[in-house]
């Protein structure tokens, strides 16, 4: 680190701006650790995964040799491909619903709850103080065949005793519900930040010009907050497409997702070849989707606000 | 290899291209030469079927005081200290004298094999006997020196022989048990004779849970359909089983992988029928539920797990002491009374065991767990295991 410190503080005579470090060196110094980190722990493994997927590396030594068979089998109507699109569908539903549900919360916090907003924001984040696993266990108690909801239905007579709603627990519905529940607070944050930095004078101007509250929202607030909305959407969409833990715990037979198939290939089935194909495919598709979002949905404005 | 062939038979055809045959040939030849060279200096195995047979004399290992003593045990959850035997229980004497081993947890034999294959090197692993061959094949284990195990003579003969490969005791049998359908008799009434076919009973849609395991669901299908050796089914039979399981999987609420989750689901009424081990029977019985641990006409499945010793362990004698304690009669009594599993140590006084355990799990009748009454898991080669696993993944993904 002493070397770095020297770089940051060069002798004054060498610089046009006394006391200020040379920008290029600082940039390199600051960027090197994260870039190295990404290189070693992300890029190299991705390359390895790709090499496994074309059988240049193999789990069982002696069986390797370049081959695209695993890719061909996967793309040629395998059940895993269908499972992938099912996961994308589930993930889309989760992302859209979570964003729509989080928007009013963020709106209220940013524009209406003036003094108390940070307290309320903390309250929204409070569930994160409880471990994810415990929250899922609690959901199981609520959604089970003799759980809170079904017991209530029995009590009111809406469902006959002994005839619970079967899809409340261990189904696609459960996975989607759980993921939405988990992600709404996450999603509210970026939307909150964009709404917070919104120029209030624009809203006043809209009102002065005779716009109704709805018109103001539709023509001013919503378009200006779109970068936050898109960022929020991506926040949910990327991790949930490869979701593993939630479907494992509450998905049952119908709620299995692509991430579970990948885990099985590497773990239970020792099929690293196929597992690598699935992993790499997921990576590529998500990267491409992100590229599309970035291009057409002006993600650059998210960064600059 | 044409792509048509690939489509017809993805597993075998893909595996045996011409290049692979050449490699396989070279490998076989190489192994043969190595074996021939090694034959001169290798110690004579004590003969096939021999009872003890250690790999090398114990003298070659330093005395226990010179070992590191940081024993690492790759165990099933529930078998670690203090869960196994309790705070002052079975494992206490070892811990007092040698310190607490580090326990890491395996969730299935395949997962354990995979982790060790990927480089993990514990001193002791607790796999099941049908996987012993895979461990030896991988070259990561060594035979035990049974002369260092004071309780070895008390272990059940057939289980001991089952753990030998080429006359070497690679596996020390410890716990055994059944796998069978468990059902809540307050909700479920089997149609006629008890059978594994209860898993495919349309009347209980959404209330069934199969075990999430690559082999067993195919094996069960095999026994239900009178396949001669369900542990060695052909690709055609496996395809047929896969299609059948796909058509019946909607009857399942989930495929369980954690026994605690399953027990909770049975108690909460989410699951009425499940593939289960004795532990789930005990949990349900202790929760006051009406359950039957079925005696299917096709026979229960059985399993026997135990210990293998890491090939590169620096705790050779520590490992033996630990496994010796595990093999003791105190250990056997504890596991029967607490988990209702059997134990390889046969000197247990069954009068000290709950009556229903003895009758439900036939603790007093070794014949009940032998063919044709019950089917112990049989060794499956890595290649065939992959064929089962691939189809099970397809069932799950579909």
Is position B279 within any domain? yes
Is position B36 within any domain? no
Find out whether B134 and B382 touch, Cβ atoms under 8 Å.
Answer: yes
Helix (H) and strand (E) counts for chain B?
Answer: 15, 14
Residue B285 burial (10 A CB sphere; 0-12, 13-18, 19+): middle
Q: Does A55 touch chain B (CB under 8 A)?
A: no
User: Which residue, of B259, B282, B300, is where some domain finishes?
Assistant: B300
Mean of the per-residue pLDDT values for chain A? 86
CATH classification of the domain holding B199? 3.40.190.10
Chain A CB contacts of B268 below 8 Å: 140-141, 144-147
Chain A CB contacts of B212 below 8 Å: 268
Instruction: State the DSSP code for B45.
Output: P
Is A144 in contact with B3 (Cβ distance < 8 A)? no
Same domain, B246 and B229: yes
Place of tokens 């058509």: B247
Nearest residue of A to residue B8 by CA position? A73
Is position B93 within any domain? yes
Query: Which ranges in B151-234 belong to alpha helices (H)?
Result: 157-162, 216-224
Domain range enclosing A164: 79-304
Find out whether B195 and B224 touch, Cβ atoms under 8 Å.
Answer: yes
Which pLDDT band holds residue A1 (cuts at 50, 70, 90)?
very low
Average pLDDT over residues A151-171: 91
Which pLDDT band holds residue A186 (cuts at 50, 70, 90)?
confident
Average pLDDT over residues A67-75: 92
Is position B53 within any domain? no
Identify the segments of chain B with pLDDT beneath 70.
1-59
Place of tokens 């579970």: A260
Is position B24 within any domain? no
- On whether the pTM is more than 0.90, the answer is no
CA distance A234 to chain B (A): 26
pLDDT of residue A107: 92
Same domain, B126 and B167: yes
Chain B CB contacts of A69 below 8 Å: 6, 14
Domain range enclosing B232: 181-300
Is position A48 within any domain? no
User: Which residue, of B300, B322, B356, is where some domain finishes?
Assistant: B300
Is B6 in contact with A69 (Cβ distance < 8 A)? yes
Same domain, B95 and B133: yes
Is A252 in contact with B3 (Cβ distance < 8 A)? no
Find out whether B281 and B110 touch, Cβ atoms under 8 Å.
Answer: no
Residue A96 burial (10 A CB sphere; 0-12, 13-18, 19+): middle
Instruction: State the DSSP code for A169.
Output: S
Number of domains in chain A: 1
Find out whether A237 and A91 touch, Cβ atoms under 8 Å.
Answer: yes
Is position B7 within any domain? no
CATH classification of the domain holding A180? 1.10.3720.10
Tell me which H or E stretch contains B40: none
Same domain, B367 and B271: no
3-state secondary structure of A182: helix
Is position A10 within any domain? no
Peptide bond into A164 cis (omega under 30): no
Is A63 in contact with B3 (Cβ distance < 8 A)? no
Is position A70 within any domain? no
A residues 106..135 contacting B (CB < 8 A): none
Same domain, B194 and B250: yes
**β-bridge pairing B72-76 and B124-125:** parallel
Least confident residue range of A51-65, A139-153, A273-287, B86-100: A51-65
User: Does the interface ipTM go beyond 0.90?
Assistant: no
User: Which residue, of B272, B300, B328, is where some domain finishes?
Assistant: B300
Find out whether A48 and A57 touch, Cβ atoms under 8 Å.
Answer: yes
Q: Does B249 touch chain A (CB under 8 A)?
A: yes
Same domain, B67 and B111: yes
Is position B118 within any domain? yes
Same domain, B68 and B172: yes
Chain B CB contacts of A271 below 8 Å: 386, 389-390, 393
Number of domains in chain B: 2
Backbone angles phi, psi at B177, to 5 degrees: -175, 180
Same domain, B172 and B186: no
Is B111 in contact with A268 (Cβ distance < 8 A)? yes
**A108-154 pLDDT, tens digit each:** 998 888 788 888 888 888 888 889 889 998 999 999 998 999 999 99
pLDDT of residue B39: 36
Assign residue B99 a region: left if phi > 0, alpha if psi is -120 to 50, beta otherwise?
left
Same domain, B165 and B77: yes
B residues 212..241 contacting A (CB < 8 A): 212-214
Separation of alpha carbons B184 and B359, rounded Å? 18
Least confident residue range of A167-181, A241-255, B105-119, B155-169: B105-119
Which pLDDT band holds residue A298 (cuts at 50, 70, 90)?
low
Is position B6 within any domain? no
Which pLDDT band holds residue A17 (cuts at 50, 70, 90)?
low
3-state secondary structure of A197: coil
Three-state secondary structure readout of B338-372? HHCCEECECCCCHHHCCHHHHHHCCCCCHHHHCCC
Is position A296 within any domain? yes
Same domain, B194 and B331: no
Instruction: Locate A298 and state its tokens.
Output: 């002006």
Chain B CB contacts of A264 below 8 Å: 393, 396
Same domain, B201 and B275: yes
Q: Does A271 touch chain B (CB under 8 A)?
A: yes
Instruction: Locate B296 and state its tokens.
Output: 């299917």
Separation of alpha carbons B118 and B124, rounded Å? 16
Nearest residue of A to residue B391 by CA position? A269
Which pLDDT band holds residue A18 (cuts at 50, 70, 90)?
low
Same domain, B169 and B209: no
One DSSP character per residue, B269-297 reads TS-SEEEE-HHHHHHHHHTT--EEE---T
């Amino acid at each position: 680190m002493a070397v770095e410190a020297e770089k940051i503080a060069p002798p004054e005579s060498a610089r046009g701006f006394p006391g200020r470090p040379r920008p290029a060196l600082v940039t390199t110094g600051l960027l090197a650790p994260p870039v190295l980190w990404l290189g070693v722990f992300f890029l190299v493994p991705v390359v390895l995964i790709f090499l496994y997927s074309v059988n240049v590396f193999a789990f069982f030594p002696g069986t390797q040799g370049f081959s695209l068979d695993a890719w061909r089998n996967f793309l040629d109507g395998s059940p895993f491909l269908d499972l992938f699109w099912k996961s994308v569908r589930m993930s889309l539903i989760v992302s859209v619903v979570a964003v729509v549900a989080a928007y009013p919360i963020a709106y209220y916090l940013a524009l209406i709850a003036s003094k108390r907003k940070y307290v309320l924001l903390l309250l929204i984040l409070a569930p994160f103080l409880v471990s994810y696993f415990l929250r899922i266990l609690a959901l199981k108690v609520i959604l089970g065949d003799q759980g809170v909801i079904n017991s209530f239905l029995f009590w009111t007579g809406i469902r006959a005793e002994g005839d619970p709603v079967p899809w409340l627990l261990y189904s696609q519905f459960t996975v989607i519900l759980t993921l939405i529940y988990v992600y709404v607070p996450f999603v509210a944050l970026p939307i909150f930040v964009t709404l917070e930095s919104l120029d209030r004078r624009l809203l006043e101007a809209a009102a002065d010009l005779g716009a109704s509250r709805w018109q103001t929202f539709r023509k001013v607030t919503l378009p200006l907050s779109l970068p936050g909305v898109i960022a929020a959407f991506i926040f949910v969409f990327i991790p949930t497409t490869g979701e593993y833990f939630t479907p494992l715990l509450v998905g049952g037979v119908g709620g299995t997702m692509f991430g579970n198939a990948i885990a099985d290939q590497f773990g239970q089935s020792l099929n690293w070849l196929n597992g690598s194909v699935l992993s790499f495919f997921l990576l590529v598709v998500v990267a491409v989707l992100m590229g599309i979002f970035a291009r057409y949905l002006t993600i650059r404005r998210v960064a600059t606000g | 290899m044409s792509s048509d062939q690939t489509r017809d038979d993805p597993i075998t055809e893909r595996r045996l291209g011409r290049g692979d045959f050449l490699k396989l040939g070279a490998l076989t030849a190489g192994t043969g030469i190595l074996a021939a060279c090694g034959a001169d200096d290798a110690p004579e195995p004590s003969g096939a079927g021999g009872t003890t047979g250690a790999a090398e004399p114990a003298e070659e290992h330093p005395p226990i005081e010179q070992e590191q003593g940081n024993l690492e045990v790759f165990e099933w959850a529930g078998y670690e200290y203090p869960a196994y035997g309790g705070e002052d229980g079975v494992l206490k004497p070892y811990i007092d004298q040698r310190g607490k081993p580090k326990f890491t947890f395996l969730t299935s034999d395949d997962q354990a094999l995979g982790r060790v294959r990927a480089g993990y090197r514990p001193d002791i692993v607790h796999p099941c006997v049908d996987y012993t061959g895979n461990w030896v094949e991988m070259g990561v284990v060594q035979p035990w020196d049974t002369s260092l195990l004071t309780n070895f003579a008390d272990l059940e003969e057939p289980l001991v022989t089952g753990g030998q490969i080429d006359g070497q005791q690679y596996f020390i049998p410890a716990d055994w048990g059944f796998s069978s359908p468990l059902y809540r008799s307050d909700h479920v009434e089997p149609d006629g004779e008890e059978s594994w076919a209860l898993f495919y009973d349309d009347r209980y849609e959404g209330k069934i849970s199969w075990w999430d395991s690559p082999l067993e669901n195919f094996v069960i299908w095999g026994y239900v359909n009178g396949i001669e050796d369900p542990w060695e089914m052909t690709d055609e039979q496996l395809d047929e089983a896969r299609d059948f399981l796909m058509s019946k999987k909607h009857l399942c609420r989930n495929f369980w992988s954690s026994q605690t989750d399953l027990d909770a689901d049975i108690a909460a009424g989410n699951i009425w029928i499940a593939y289960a081990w004795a532990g789930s029977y005990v949990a349900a019985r202790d929760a006051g539920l009406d359950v039957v641990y079925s005696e299917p006409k096709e026979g229960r499945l059985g399993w026997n797990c135990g210990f293998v010793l890491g090939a590169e362990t620096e705790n050779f004698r520590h490992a033996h002491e630990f496994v010796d304690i595990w093999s003791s009669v105190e250990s056997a009594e504890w596991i029967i009374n607490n988990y209702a599993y059997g134990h390889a140590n046969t000197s247990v006084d069954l009068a000290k065991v709950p009556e229903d355990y003895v009758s439900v799990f036939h603790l007093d009748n070794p014949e009940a767990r032998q063919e044709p009454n019950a089917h112990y898991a049989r060794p499956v080669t890595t290649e065939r295991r992959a064929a089962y696993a691939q189809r099970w993944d397809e069932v799950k993904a579909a």
